[in-house]
């Protein structure tokens, strides 16, 4: 029997204000990056993680998650591949966010969002 699981959970700080846009079909999409700090053998390092969200999750993130805010995201690890103008193969990994929670403010001020169908639209 084969088992497969693709779930990523991260908490970190928003690096820059999220950029909200819309697909050709009108679906909201937001792209943003979070910084996650970790310690290993007395050395601290920061990992910058690209994130993308669609639908209601995207709108809430764009409205409430400004630069510096501490947030939690959960979703799937995705990969885009393309060839650069110079003919070099490029790869980018990112989290397709399905669940979002603000960790910076009182929970009454910012809604948590769990979008069960947070998948990218087919025509994206």
Q: CA–CA distance from 76 to each of 45, 67, 83, 95, 120 (Å)?
A: 23, 23, 23, 6, 11
pLDDT at 118: 46
pLDDT at 121: 44
What φ, ψ does residue 63 adopt, rounded to 5°?
A: -80, -40
pLDDT at 72: 95
Give the Cβ contact number of residue 110 at 10 Å.
20
Task: Please name which of 115, 103, 123 lies closest in space to residue 56, comparing C-alpha atoms.
Answer: 115
Which structure tokens are listed for 98? 């399905």
Query: What is the fold of 8-105?
Result: OB fold (Dihydrolipoamide Acetyltransferase, E2P) (2.40.50)
Where in the chain are the domains? Answer: 8-105
Distance separating alpha carbons of residues 30 and 23, to the nearest angstrom: 10
- 74-112 confidence digits (pLDDT tens): 999 999 999 999 999 999 999 999 999 999 766 555 556
pLDDT band (50, 70, 90) for residue 42: confident
pLDDT at 117: 46
């Amino acid at each position: 029997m084969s088992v497969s699981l693709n779930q990523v959970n991260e908490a970190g700080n928003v690096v820059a204000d999220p950029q909200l846009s819309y697909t050709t079909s009108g679906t909201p999409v937001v792209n943003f990056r979070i910084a996650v700090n970790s310690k290993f053998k007395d050395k601290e390092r920061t990992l910058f993680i690209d994130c993308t969200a669609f639908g209601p999750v995207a709108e809430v993130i764009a409205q409430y998650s400004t630069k510096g805010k501490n947030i939690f995201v959960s979703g799937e690890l995705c990969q885009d591949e393309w060839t650069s103008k110079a003919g070099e193969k490029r790869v980018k990994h990112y989290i397709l966010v399905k669940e979002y929670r603000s960790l910076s403010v009182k929970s009454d001020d910012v809604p948590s969002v769990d979008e069960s169908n947070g998948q990218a639209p087919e025509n994206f």
